[in-house]
Structure 1
Amino acid sequence: MIAFLRGTVASVEIEAVVLDVHGVGYKVNVTAACAASLSGMVDQEVSLHTHMIVREDDMQLYGFFSTEEINVFLLLLGVNGVGPRAALGVLSHLTPQGLARAVTIEDISALTKVPGVGKKIAQRIVLELKDKFKKLGIKSAETPSQPDETAVAGALDDALAGLLALGYGAGEARDAVQRAMELGKSASVSELIKLALRFLDKSK
């Protein structure tokens, strides 16, 4: 089992990073926010907590900046019907604190906004993780009274960084992200990137 990796950021995709560890490139699946952060760290050394999932015909690594994130990822994997991609998707849309809040107040709608998570899976997540979150000691996030301008600006910057990492020009990337932001100001970084990519594809 590979518990962590420390290496140089070789390249970044929307939800993956390649780390050069002593000349060996490890492709690690990460959240959209993590990928956006790493896009500005190419050729720099970073450390990621990792979890490896091995199947008969596949082997995947999942990486996280914090122990809190990887602990929540492992909790999600323990929920019946939640696979690694869905668990990563949840953490791309909700921070550990945001997920703790959704589970605590049984906010099913917050969970069903995650691609691949239907109502039944959302209900299982709430049912099975409520007590486990208490044991982990993760405090739930406060509910903002209105969208935080700083958070919105941060999401825009992270989405822009993600598109730049994919090779798009600064001008076209910024225009696409701004158009995506107009459609969904409360969208997560991954949702903004996906919306922006649609606009970029149409412009070709």
Structure 2
Amino acid sequence: MIAFLRGALASVEAEAVVLDVHGVGYRVNVTAACAAKLSGQVNQEVALHTHLIVREDDLQLYGFFSTDEINVFLLLLGVNGVGPRAALAVLSHLTPHGLVRAVTLEDLSVLTKVPGVGKKIAQRIVLELKDKFEKLTIQSAEMPAIPVKAADVIDDALAGLLALGYGAGEARDAVQRAMESTLGQQAGVAQLIKHALRLLDKAK
């Protein structure tokens, strides 16, 4: 099992990256947000937590920045009817905190906004993961745990940017950078969206 990769970032695609690890190129499937964040780091050293899925005629690597993301990814894979591509799509549109919140509140409307996730799959995710999420402590490897109120603000701001037509990857990256800036975790939804829009405009 390949649990971790560290190497030079060779290239970035929409939802995949290639890492050069001692001369061997590993293609790793990642979330849209991860790809967006890494788009400006070609040739730099990158480290990802990885999970290898072996099929009869295929090997696929899936990579994540934090242990929260890979833990949630593995839990999603345990849900009947959720494959790796669907699990990755969920994490492209929701942070681990956002997914835990949606499942805990049984908010199917949030889950069905993910491409490829219909009402039946959303119901299965809630049914099969609610108890597991209650026992799981979600804490990012890169930063301290985000308070529930702050997590709600982040998810609402992300929903606002998606409604404005921004892609899931660039929206999540902008919201995260806005939250990590001088705004801190006291920012309201409107303030966070406004700051994220400035970051998105600068990136054009």
Instruction: Note if 1:79 corresponds to 2:79.
Output: yes
For residues 86 and 78 of structure 1, the distance between their equivalents in structure 2, rounded to whole angstroms, comes to 12
* Number of the residue aligned with 1:189: 168
CA contact (8 A) 2:17 2:30 kept: yes
* Deviation of 1:41 (Å): 0.8
SS of the residue corresponding to residue 80 of structure 1 reads coil
Aligned twin of 2:179: none
Cα offset, 1:23, TM superposition: 0.4
Q: CA deviation at 1:186?
A: 6.7
Task: Report the Cα offset of residue 126 of structure 1.
Answer: 0.4
The letter of the residue matching 1:143 is D
Distance 1:7 1:129 in 2: 34
Name the CA shift for 1:18/1:143 in 2 (closer, same or farther; >3 Å).
same
Contact 1:98/1:140 (<8 A) preserved: no
Name the TM-score, length of structure 1 as normaliser: 0.73
| Partner in structure 1 of residue 175 of structure 2 | none
Contact 1:100 1:140 (C-alpha < 8 Å) held by counterparts: no
CA distance in 2, matches of 1:145, 1:43: 31
The change in CA–CA distance for 1:186 and 1:131 in structure 2 (over 3 A counts) is farther
Specify which of 152, 157, 179 is matched with residue 143 of structure 1: 152
Residue of structure 2 in register with 1:176 after alignment: none
SS in structure 2 of the partner of residue 52 of structure 1 = strand
Task: List alignment gaps of at least 5 residues for structure 2.
Answer: 139-146, 172-204
Q: Which runs of 5+ in 1 are unaligned?
A: 156-180, 193-204
- How many residues of Structure 1 are paired with residues of Structure 2 in the alignment? 162
Query: Deviation digits for residues 48-84 of structure 1, max 9, x if unmatched?
Result: 0000001011110000000110000000000000000
Conserved? CA contact 1:3–1:51, under 8 Å: yes
State the Cα distance separating 1:143 from its structure 2 match.
Answer: 3.2
Work out the percentage of aligned pairs sharing the same amino acid.
74
Assess if the C-alpha contact under 8 Å between 1:147 and 1:186 holds in 2.
no
**Contact 1:79/1:124 (<8 A) preserved:** yes
User: In the alignment, what sits opposite 2:49?
Assistant: 49
SS at match of 1:36: helix
Cα RMSD after superposing both structures: 2.5
The answer on whether the counterparts of 2:35 and 2:169 sit within 8 Å (CA) in structure 1 is: no
